[in-house]
Structure 1
Amino acid sequence: MEEETSFVEFSPLNTLSPHTSYEKEMENPDSRSISEIESEQQASTEEVVSLAKNSEFDREIFTEFAVLLDKFTPVLVAIKDNEKLMERPPVKKGVESIEKELTRANKLIEGACSRSPIKQIEVVTQELGRSLGLVLFASIDASTEVKQDIAALHRELMNVKFDISFTPSPSPSLGSSPCVIHGQSGFVSEQGSFINEIEEEKISLSIDDVVLQLKYGNDEEFRLALLVIDKEWIHEEDIIPILFNRLGSSKPHNRLTIIQILRILALDNDENKEKMTDGVCLSGLVKSLARDADEGREAIGLLSELSDISAVRRRIGRIQGCIVMLVTMLNGDDPTASHDAAKLLIALSSNTQNVLHMAEAGYVKPLVRCLKEGSDMSKILMATAVSRMELTDQCRASLGEDGAVEPLVKMFKSGKLEAKLSALNALQNLSYLTENIKRLISSGIVSPLLQLLFSVTSVLMTLREPASAILARIAQSENILVKQDVAQQMLSLLNLSSPAIQFNLLQALNSIASHSSASKVRRKMKENCAVQLLLPFLTESNIKIRSAALNLLYTLSKDSPEEFMEQLGESYLINIVNIISSSASEGEKAAAIGIVSNLPVSNKKSTEVLKKLHFLPILISLMSSGASTSTKTWLEESIAGVLIRFTIPSDKKLQLLSAELGVIPILLKLLASESSVAKCRAAISLTQLSQNSVALRKSRKSRWTCMPPSSDTFCQVHDGYCVVKSTFCLVKAGAVPPLIQILEGEEREADEAVLNALATLLQDEIWESGSLYMAKTSAVQAIIRVLESGTVKAQEKALWILERIFSIEEHRSQHGESAQAVLIDLAQNGHPRLKSTVAKVLARLQLLQEQSTKTLTKTLTFSLYLKMLRRNIRLRREYLYRKSLEGKERLLYEKKRKIKEALAEGKPIPTELRNEEAALRQEIDLDDENTAIPRSHIDDEYAKATERDPKILLTTSRDPSAPLTQFVKVISEIIESCRAHDYTDVILVHEHRGVPDGLVICHLPFGPTAYFELLNVVTRHDIKDKKAIGTMPEAHPHLILNNFKSKLGERTGNILKHLFPVLKPDTKRIITFANQSDYISFRHHIYEKHGGPKSVELKEIGPRFEMRLYQIKLGTVDQTEAQNEWVLRPYMNTTKKRKFIGD
């Protein structure tokens, strides 16, 4: 029972809305007077009461809540009438807090639903009680009657609890009318007898008793004592020290209450503030900063209010950890605490030592302000502190953004020696951040730094080292290139400086020369004898200086390698090799090997020197060690570059030496490197080796019959016996799979070199076997991928390879379709230099006439032609997909047919269909006349026949007496041309000794193709009455198809009728196909009406012939592999009585 009783629960901050903050109060003070606030609040109370009474949900709870809110009105009126009371800031805060909670209650009631919001009502009620408690404690000067009313309402708010499980008896509230409870829900107040005891105890407590309870009382006694404190007692009994003493030993909730009371007292008058300036009191408040968020917020607020006193500021700064906690709260998420922390930090920044502590904690604005506005001594102190701090990048960024660079540069330029030194050291610490480097360059510090380095004044010698270090940092930015002759000035200082300065200058020069836009700077450096100036450093004992010199030489060796080789000489080349073999620094080795890799490959003298120094075994041992370091990538790139020199195809002896020493396994290892440059260079070396494989292979015919070569050494590509170390065969070395893997990757830098290596397997002597091997290793798909996203040079090489591979029919049929779309897109949108090669590859795929590639690539017709090819490819794929579904649709149709038969005959569902019965019956219900019968791809062949008139090409062989193979080739070209020009049918007429004896009707684009034998052909010219027949009419004819009754007959009639357009009613032209005994007679007539409908004259105008069907294929005439739909077999001729087309 005692746990639930809470009489004093002050929490001024908790009474504020979550969106309320002191920062907003200070920046946007409430312009309303306390009287206006009270009036608005009274209206808000009435509105909430009305809503609560009219709520549709939890009516009993909201009704009793409204009864309690009604009691606010006399309290608010009493406060409004007391002008002195209304002027107190704590009272105004409490009233504003009440207003926030009333708004919250309003929203809660409006948003109430069927779910009972008992918990939310309890929270709002207690928050109203806390807000009223703040007003109660701040109303020390109010009359006893007002205080009693406020205290009574406050206790009733704090001591109520919603409960719908039982209905307690009403208990009177102190100083107010009793709370009446109705129904099964309402307020459950603490028992009236207990409250009466508390009231009696309050009356009986003396000042001594209150003080004793404040000092030594338990939790409840302490709360009660706080409630009955009087204003006079605070001054007479010195209550403030007692509260501070209880702050360290109290529970968290009591600590929060104590700090809130202390804040109210501090706002009351300055005398109370003076009593809180003791160091012990302040230490207790600082400890609260690191505790609960609410307690920390209150504590920082109280410290901020006390910071007006100089003694407080002085003592707070000395408390260990205080400034760190303040900076943490400044950067926290709580806007109120952050605002108060900022205010307190500003107050503490008047002390220099505090400023340094703030900077160490990450709050640098006061330090920057001291650099800008402080005294000379203060500036030196701040700069020295910056130079010695362990700054994070975030702190460096803050210093740069807040403007620390400019005053430091100004100190360096115009300050005395001590100021210059401290400023340089500070700037050196800040220069580790890229953004600060840009600020340094824009501040104009480069020229003063160089002037300092040229200075010979002994006083300034101590400044040269930090100045050179700053220059080394500044040189990392390309903005330094704006400064003219910076590199030349640094070069002239190299031999006039100490080792530390030399190291910094070498680093700066390397950074400047390494910029992508520094080609002119590198050229000027060479003209000023930079190489000759740097070479002596190769014998330097100081490893750091020697390594920096090697890095700079490596950068300079990238341009004009021939000139660099002349300046290097044999002696220094020996020094470089000695460094590689003896140095323990991986970075130094990488730079030295990089210099060697940049030397011209054509320089045989340097190659001989490297051979004598056994340079190649040194490289192989380095790669074999496999040490993983930060310079591994650079080392691999440099070694791969050197190996190109030892694998040049013009020196087979050198290649053999390299292979014997184990270069090829190293190259394969480099193919798996993370560096694209290393992969590319390794592929170049493999290309150079593979170029001689054909010449070095051993013939299949062995001269030594007693010792035949091992079958394991036989190479299918080179058609001979290959050994890796003697013939450099890529196949036997296992180099092809990793090369293909590079093409399949996402990086495209090494594509050209890899394709050149693969192209060596397609040399003229071995291209057929090489094509077969590459097709087996899935290289074709990888090469096609290069066509999609590779460089122009890589695409050009890929097309050359594909042209050779697609020269073989097997490879065309296997991979041609996957390459078509890419090739057509490349022909339309690719680089102009690729168009002729693309046309050749398309010709290999029989998508383009080979003899027309040269002319088509130069005209717009080629582009249009390729668009048509793309369309036909798409249509073909759709047609094949629909055809592939026929089997599934036929199987589904049979299942549904069995279900229908079982249902119609009342038989049980077949066992194998019982699991599918529900789904099948649902599909049966959804079927209509179009879906009940399965469609065939045959139905799609003439699906669009009625949309436009037929467009027919009628032709014969180009040369009837030519060989049949030539005729087939011509047919292939004709069909493809017809597809491109949107023809619907092609009719081929075959003759024998001048007499037509065969007719082929091919429907485009996908078939079918019908083959007919022609008999008894009579042309128009053979008809006797030539004058009577006149000219050939062009009107759309009537079609008569007679006796096409069988399924084959319907198919044949369908093929024939779609050769003709849709007829027009007024036409007088008639085409007849009459079937008799599977011989189809063709006749062509016109008719005229001379004497009315009964007098019709029919006139034959030719030609006439008989046709006999002997084959139907599903594809087009050029597709020799197309499936046969129907064929007239020899044994069918013996069945005279059997008819296939009609009766």
Structure 2
Amino acid sequence: MTPLLHTSALCSSPPPLSTLTADPIAYSFLASFLGRVERLLLRWTGSNCLGDSGKMATAEPIMNASLVPDSELISRAVQAACGTIRAARDVLVERHSFAELAAYLDRVVPILDQLKATTPAANRDGTLADAAGILAREVEAARALALDCGKRNRIYLLLNCRRIVTRLESATREIGRAISLLPLTSLDLSSAIRDEAKLLSDSMVRAEFRAAAAEEETLRKLESAIQEHNSDRSYANSLLALIADAVGISKDRTVLKKEFAEFKEEVAEAKLRKDLAEAIQMDQIIALLSRADATSSFKEKEVKYYSKRNSLGSQPLEPLQSFYCPITRDVMEDPVETSSGQTFERSAIERWFADGNTTCPLTMTPLNTGFLRHNITLRKSIEEWKERNNIIIISSMKSKLSLDDEVVLRSLAQLQELCEEKFSNRECVVMEDYLPILVGLLGRNNSQIRNHTLYILRLLVEDSDDNREKIAEVDNAIQSIVKSLARRTDERKAAVALLLELSKNNAICGHIGKVQGCILLLVTIINSDNNQAADDARELLENLSFLDDNVVLMAKANYFQPLLRCLNSGPEYLKMKMVKALAEMELTDHSKETLFKEGALQPLLQMLSLSDADGKRMAIKAIQKLSSFGPNGLQIIRDGAISPLLDLLFQAIPASSNLRDQVAATILNITVSAAALQTNEALSILKSDAEISRLFSLVMLTGPTIQQSILGTFYALCQLPSAKDMRTKLRQFSAVQLLISQCEHRDLSVRASAVKLLSCLMEDGDDNVSAESVTQRCLETLLSIIKTSKDEEEVAAALRIISDLPIGYTHVTRWIADAGAITVFVSYIRDAKLSGPFRNKLIENALRVLCRFTMSTNPECQKIAAKSGLIPLLVQLLGSGTPAAKRYAATLLCQFSESSLSLSRLVERHGGFWCFAPPPEIRCPVHNGVCSAETSYCLLEADAIGPLLSLLGDSDSSICDAALSALSTLIEGERLQSGSKVLHESNGIAPIVKVLSSRSTELQEKALNVLERIFRLQEYKRIYGALAQMPLVDITQRSNGPVRALAARILAHLDVLHDQSSYF
């Protein structure tokens, strides 16, 4: 037989220790001789392939070609070719090579069909018959080989891949030669067929087949391991994994063990066939692969270990003299033999040669410096001696690990050194049952002990699934390792590295993920400064994501990549599980932002197209969570991703489903989040008037939950800076009338949403629409809301609606006053309990409403408001209110002050004796009568002049305007003298002069009107004239129209211009 591997590898590779009783050179000669005999037999037997039972089989015998009709031979060849093509699809190895052969045969079949059609049944001469016979035999042999390669053990086929490609190459070339022997020129065939046959024959004769690169690499590593006698378990594990990849089988231990058992059966059959060379090599391979974890159970290894250990004795042995290198005097690691027959350490003798020496260091005889040969026997003996001593040392150290810290540290250092030295030492540590002791050391208070222990445990589990499982079986092992994740940097790094090795076993991944806090700690480590620990933690999390529950835990710890991967590319059941987890998860704004940036939205939107209602519901709930972070909601709108939600909302969904409720709530969430950012961007959610109308119409067609969401959505849209068009369109769709009816809704949430949206639409609406829509019943409803609602935003909106009603509609004012609402409005200003987010809006809107009741033309309402204690509250707001509140307060004080003169009571004159008269009443310096804040609304009595003067310096011109209007009431008509005096004494004239420098023309004009009256009085002209001159001159030079003329008139009062000046 042809040797399974290269002959050189066979000859240079020693047999296992148990069979190495003969001289290696004699063994090599025997193997070489058997190989030559095998090749002779191959040539003698003709076409051979791997038989069904492992025996060498030949193709079906072909009868004497001269006795068989040509057409029959050709038919057999066609049948065999078709059978080969089919069988080539199912081969387990060398798929590419078999596919190449099948491609050739695909071209052969049409030629043979044509040949058969033109060949007479009688055999004319032997040429065609001989060629057809060869063709049929070779194609049949190829078919038999393909069938064999489709059912034999994969490992066995892999190890025979070189022989297989050799047979394929031989068969292909023989078929090509047979085609060239066909007498095509003498037959009635087309030139195209003859040309095709010539090209095909030439191509097949030159065909070359080679084993696949992965298969060649695997064979080279096997040969190297046998040649170097590498029996390391780690290397055996990696070789078995390489074989699994090469032949396309799972790396699952059960699968590998079954495949390996079948391989051994194949080898046993080879021995029965007395294929000695193949059997020897296969025994070597079996011995090597048997060291792998997957090919034998832990119990089997344990039995073998203790059988060996019990035969060793209890004391280490000193090395034999032959173990020492004559140059270094140390025990050799890599002994090599020189041409003189002496053995030295390789590095030592190479250094001897490098120094220029050419003689033997011992015998001083000349040496061939280019000849160094492995002394395999000696090397194996040294390794056995070391292994024996290490087993004895390791078995005797265990008791020291229960002593004090110093002894434990020394023992751990020695144990670590042994584990680093050789894989077999690690096996010994596990077999000696060190694992429970080492796990126990993780509970010590000494961090050095814990660090050493973690490192040793990692060495033990490297490339050993058995050891990983043994550690996981120790009580509290995983928990103890996880605790180290929360400790100092070095220990944390060692713990992550150990857990990473353990996580290569899928079953252990479940244990790791279940330890409380483990995944959270790993996510924290990812963000640490230690790059190696962070990389290991990231890889560990990737391994743990093998389990769905771990993926959910990672997401809860803000590590979302595995969850997003499941959402994007996982099976449907997994997507559902992840969406449900995301929907029920508590997310921070940072988490929402991260999920959105990393692409969570698209798979969620895709799930909306599913037929499964639960899937849709969970996806919508997750989108709702993500959109509650403002920038996410804004981006959803920008991307047009809200359209699928609107489509779903418009669909006819059974009433029993709350899907539409969730969709509507999600649209609301998105809109509110985007509106909260106060962007000036024009956001397009509803793209057409029809869509706006369709959505708003659902308010009348759905239940309270959807009604509230839709009303809230429109309210948020109407709050946007670019929402004027939206408000206009809603008014055109008769939204005001509909909302007024909704203000009486029994569901308080729907009512509140309707009132707020109505408030928005009334702000810049048509007065005629307001007059027609707001009836007495509507006002009663709004007043009821103001009096009873617990929702401050709803109350503020109701107040705003009333304040937006046209002041000219006196009947509205009368209805409200008759309902006793003025005191209610005042109470919202006075109520110190207001502290919510809408407190300021409540106060501002209450002040705005009161402006219609405190006009001088409505003395009864003024009186009610004053008796309610409004005026002191207004004075207080001048100093502490919001800008709008200050403006409204100043306006209200102005309106009150306009009535002060008529309400100021004359001072009564008392007759009789002065000693019996009551104390004289104090006369108001402004109104020359008896005043008070409550009865005559006097600004002086209310201590409002100072606060009003302070507002003249406000940067908001509307506030200055309102304050100046209020102050100007002090100098109206006959009060010019007394009012000017009060302003002077209050240091109020200079602030008015400063107002002349305002950029607001309206404000300048109002200040000019006040000063024009004051400067009519000689006293104040003299005092303030110089101060006002420059601002007045500036106005005359820079302004036009009434303002310029008014400034010029004042300058004339100040004698700066004459009365006939062109400025007038």
User: What TM-score bracket applies, with the shorter chain setting the length?
Assistant: 0.5 to 0.7
**1:537 aligned residue (742, 747, 751):** 742
* One-letter identity of the residue aligned with 1:352: D
> Residues 889-900 of structure 1: matches in 2 within 5 Å?
none
Alignment partners' CA distance in 1, 2:1037 and 2:391: 101
Alignment partners' CA distance in 2, 1:142 and 1:600: 114
Classify the secondary structure of the residue corresponding to 1:248. coil
1:300 aligns to what? 496
Classify the secondary structure of the residue corresponding to 2:614. helix
CA gap of 1:304–1:578, structure 2 versus 1, over 3 A, is same
* One-letter identity of the residue aligned with 1:508: T
Any idea what the Cα deviations from partners look like across 1:485-517, whole Å, max 9, x if unmatched?
344222211111011111111111211222232
> Residues 1003-1042 of structure 1: matches in 2 within 5 Å?
none
Task: Work out whether 1:637 is the aligned partner of 2:844.
Answer: yes
1:380 aligns to what? 576
Task: Work out whether 1:664 is the aligned partner of 2:860.
Answer: no
1:225 aligns to what? 411
Alignment partners' CA distance in 2, 1:759 and 1:146: 116
Kindly state the Cα deviation for residue 661 of structure 1 after the two structures are TM-superposed. Answer: 4.4
**1:677 aligned residue (884, 909, 914):** 884
* One-letter identity of the residue aligned with 2:894: T
Alignment partners' CA distance in 1, 2:888 and 2:996: 22
Per the normalisation by structure 1, the TM-score is: 0.53
Kindly state the Cα deviation for residue 459 of structure 1 after the two structures are TM-superposed. Answer: 7.8
Kindly state the Cα deviation for residue 662 of structure 1 after the two structures are TM-superposed. Answer: 3.7
2:518 aligns to what? 322
1:628 aligns to what? 834
Alignment partners' CA distance in 1, 2:485 and 2:730: 61
Kindly state the Cα deviation for residue 211 of structure 1 after the two structures are TM-superposed. Answer: 1.2
Alignment partners' CA distance in 2, 1:664 and 1:364: 59
2:694 aligns to what? 489
CA gap of 1:385–1:228, structure 2 versus 1, over 3 A, is closer
> Residues 174-189 of structure 1: matches in 2 within 5 Å?
none
Kindly state the Cα deviation for residue 563 of structure 1 after the two structures are TM-superposed. Answer: 2.1
The structure richer in helix per residue is: 2
> Residues 382-397 of structure 1: matches in 2 within 5 Å?
382-397=578-593
Alignment partners' CA distance in 2, 1:284 and 1:810: 94
1:246 aligns to what? 441
Alignment partners' CA distance in 2, 1:531 and 1:329: 58
* One-letter identity of the residue aligned with 1:633: N
* One-letter identity of the residue aligned with 2:971: L
Alignment partners' CA distance in 2, 1:780 and 1:305: 86
Question: 8 Å contact 1:297–1:337 — kept in the other structure?
Answer: yes
Classify the secondary structure of the residue corresponding to 1:765. helix
2:820 aligns to what? 614
Alignment partners' CA distance in 2, 1:207 and 1:356: 47
> Residues 392-791 of structure 1: matches in 2 within 5 Å?
392-414=588-610, 416-458=612-654, 461-476=657-672, 477=674, 479-480=683-684, 483-485=687-689, 486-558=691-763, 559-630=765-836, 631-698=838-905, 713-744=922-953, 749-780=958-989, 782-783=991-992, 791=1000
Of 618-627 and 486-495, deviating more is 618-627
Q: Percent identity?
A: 32
Alignment partners' CA distance in 2, 1:686 and 1:425: 52
CA gap of 1:222–1:748, structure 2 versus 1, over 3 A, is farther
CA gap of 1:216–1:653, structure 2 versus 1, over 3 A, is closer
**1:259 aligned residue (424, 444, 454):** 454
Kindly state the Cα deviation for residue 655 of structure 1 after the two structures are TM-superposed. Answer: 2.9
* One-letter identity of the residue aligned with 2:553: H
Question: 8 Å contact 1:213–1:225 — kept in the other structure?
Answer: no
* One-letter identity of the residue aligned with 2:792: E
Question: 8 Å contact 1:387–1:429 — kept in the other structure?
Answer: yes
Any idea what the Cα deviations from partners look like across 1:399-448, whole Å, max 9, x if unmatched?
11111112111211355433222211111122211112123223434333
Question: 8 Å contact 2:637–2:685 — kept in the other structure?
Answer: no
CA gap of 1:651–1:703, structure 2 versus 1, over 3 A, is farther
CA gap of 1:237–1:613, structure 2 versus 1, over 3 A, is closer
* One-letter identity of the residue aligned with 1:519: K
Task: Work out whether 1:211 is the aligned partner of 2:397.
Answer: yes
* One-letter identity of the residue aligned with 1:249: R
CA gap of 1:705–1:452, structure 2 versus 1, over 3 A, is farther
Across the aligned residues of Structure 1 and Structure 2, the Cα RMSD in angstroms comes to 4.0
Classify the secondary structure of the residue corresponding to 1:394. helix
Question: 8 Å contact 1:597–1:642 — kept in the other structure?
Answer: yes
Alignment partners' CA distance in 2, 1:713 and 1:739: 24
> Residues 43-54 of structure 1: matches in 2 within 5 Å?
none
CA gap of 1:251–1:751, structure 2 versus 1, over 3 A, is same
* One-letter identity of the residue aligned with 1:714: R
Classify the secondary structure of the residue corresponding to 2:854. coil
Of 777-786 and 415-424, deviating more is 777-786
Question: 8 Å contact 2:856–2:862 — kept in the other structure?
Answer: yes
Question: 8 Å contact 1:659–1:726 — kept in the other structure?
Answer: yes
Classify the secondary structure of the residue corresponding to 1:526. helix
Kindly state the Cα deviation for residue 659 of structure 1 after the two structures are TM-superposed. Answer: 3.0
Kindly state the Cα deviation for residue 687 of structure 1 after the two structures are TM-superposed. Answer: 1.1
CA gap of 1:208–1:509, structure 2 versus 1, over 3 A, is closer
Q: Give the length in aligned residue pairs.
A: 663
Kindly state the Cα deviation for residue 645 of structure 1 after the two structures are TM-superposed. Answer: 0.8
Classify the secondary structure of the residue corresponding to 2:658. helix
Any idea what the Cα deviations from partners look like across 1:104-125, whole Å, max 9, x if unmatched?
xxxxxxxxxxxxxxxxxxxxxx
Alignment partners' CA distance in 2, 1:363 and 1:522: 43
Alignment partners' CA distance in 1, 2:529 and 2:1016: 72
Question: 8 Å contact 1:771–1:805 — kept in the other structure?
Answer: yes
Alignment partners' CA distance in 1, 2:896 and 2:669: 45
Alignment partners' CA distance in 2, 1:657 and 1:237: 97
Kindly state the Cα deviation for residue 227 of structure 1 after the two structures are TM-superposed. Answer: 3.8
* One-letter identity of the residue aligned with 1:606: V
> Residues 154-165 of structure 1: matches in 2 within 5 Å?
none
Classify the secondary structure of the residue corresponding to 2:974. coil
Any idea what the Cα deviations from partners look like across 1:614-669, whole Å, max 9, x if unmatched?
12122234434332231221211121011111112233444344434443234334
Question: 8 Å contact 1:214–1:226 — kept in the other structure?
Answer: no
1:236 aligns to what? 428
> Residues 32-181 of structure 1: matches in 2 within 5 Å?
none
Q: Give unpaired runs (5+ residues) of structure 2.
A: 1-229, 235-322, 332-388, 676-682
Kindly state the Cα deviation for residue 338 of structure 1 after the two structures are TM-superposed. Answer: 2.5
Question: 8 Å contact 2:828–2:842 — kept in the other structure?
Answer: no
Question: 8 Å contact 2:401–2:407 — kept in the other structure?
Answer: no
Alignment partners' CA distance in 2, 1:298 and 1:248: 15
Alignment partners' CA distance in 1, 2:893 and 2:947: 12
Question: 8 Å contact 1:836–1:854 — kept in the other structure?
Answer: no
Classify the secondary structure of the residue corresponding to 1:772. helix
Classify the secondary structure of the residue corresponding to 2:487. coil
* One-letter identity of the residue aligned with 2:535: H
